[in-house]
Amino acid sequence: MKSEEKQQEIVDMFNTIAPTYDKANRILSMGVDISWRKKACDLAFEFYPKNPLSRIVDVACGTGDMMGFWQKQADKKGIKVKKMVGVDPSSGMLAVGKEKFPSYEFILSKATDIPLETNSADVLSISYGIRNVVEREAAFVEFARVVKPGGLVVILEFTKDDKKGPLHALKQWYLTKLLPRIGGMISKNRAAYEYLPNSIEGFLTASMMQEELKNAGFETVHCESFSMDISTLIIAKRV
């Protein structure tokens, strides 16, 4: 299958699950992803202590969840964000996002071709979305174009790990057995939630992703894993 066809297939899948996406996410993560997202925002503000910020861009923004956390954590710290922009190729997801956050700007676009000016974003984030970008390395190059020198790219993702043992076995059981069943019940689309563990298994380790970011012009300033290494946070500076 050509990369364009594969990417469109993924976009179509997200269009179908858009109405139940937020509900499924909260249930499947048992709400723990909220703490991951807040920590990503707080650390980014520490590594990039500027105020005001001209623009935060959230790529693969889905229904806008991460944008909401950026705004909430910025408000807590007294940081003014002049413009919040969400970018996603799924019209279904953006329709939900626009209802939730009518004051934010949403753009229908792929991660590899973002219609924003060069060096225009202080921070660019992508949460649980880079795994779904078929031409990932091209996307990282595009992120480097959009982010200002010294600005940050903030990535939350389910990365592959090569560890063994009981905790790893428990994680695999949850991802391959329980998650597809619950996600399928909520969304009425089990195939979409079977895609998730399959996409993780075929994805990168955290160190491999950092190498790709380096090749695109970023320097990692922070990397940590959460909850039995289910989720990884990478913060990298545009050099």
Q: What is the dihedral of CA 223, 229, 160, 140, to 10 degrees?
A: -30
Tokens at residue 84, please?
């919040």
- 137 domain-assigned: yes
Domain count within the chain: 1
pLDDT at 163 (0 to 100): 65
Residues in the chain: 239
> Could you tell me the strand order of the sheet in which 147-157 lies?
105-108, 84-88, 56-59, 121-127, 147-157, 231-238, 218-226
- 169 domain-assigned: no
- 43 domain-assigned: yes
What distance in Å separates the CA atoms of residue 181 and residue 123, rounded to the nearest whole number? 36
* Residue 63 known to bind ligand: yes
- 193 domain-assigned: no
pLDDT at 51 (0 to 100): 97
- 166 domain-assigned: no
What distance in Å separates the CA atoms of residue 79 and residue 115, rounded to the nearest whole number? 26
pLDDT at 80 (0 to 100): 98
Average pLDDT, consecutive stretches of 10 residues, N- to C-terminus, the chain (239 residues): 87 90 79 92 98 98 96 98 98 96 97 98 96 95 98 92 70 77 84 78 86 98 86 96
- 189 domain-assigned: no
What's 101's domain CATH number?
3.40.50.150
- 129 domain-assigned: yes
pLDDT at 236 (0 to 100): 98
- Structural domain range at position 75: 3-159+204-238
* Residue 90 known to bind ligand: no
- 112 domain-assigned: yes
* Residue 91 known to bind ligand: no
